[in-house]
């Protein structure tokens, strides 16, 4: 797991917490911020996962070339 994946998961959690706090306090703005944070975290985690997969593929190619 790389930094983008970890940060993405953290943003998703932060978003869920904001949504819950917004729901508890009837603060629609806070809830909406939470939705946006969660969505941004999902995108960031996906980007990180993609980067990791590409890196793994490059390492696999390098290993095959060495053989």
pLDDT at 57 over 80: yes
pLDDT, residue 43, reads 98
* Residues contacting 10, CB < 8 A, separation 6+: 41
Q: Alpha-carbon distance 66 to 41, whole Å?
A: 37
Q: What is the pLDDT of residues 16-45, one digit of tens each?
A: 999 999 999 999 999 999 999 999 999 999
Report DSSP letters for the chain, one per residue. Answer: --HHHHHHHHHHHHHHHHHHHHHHHT-HHHHHHHHHHHHHHHHHHHHHHHHHHHHHHHHHHHHHHH-
CB 4 within 8 A of CB 34: no
């Amino acid at each position: 797991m790389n930094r983008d994946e970890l940060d993405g998961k953290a943003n998703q959690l932060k978003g869920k917490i904001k949504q819950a706090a917004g729901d508890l306090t009837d603060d629609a703005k806070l809830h909406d911020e939470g939705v946006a944070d969660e969505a941004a975290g999902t995108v960031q985690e996906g980007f990180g996962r993609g980067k990791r997969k590409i890196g793994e593929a490059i390492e696999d190619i390098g290993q095959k070339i060495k053989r």
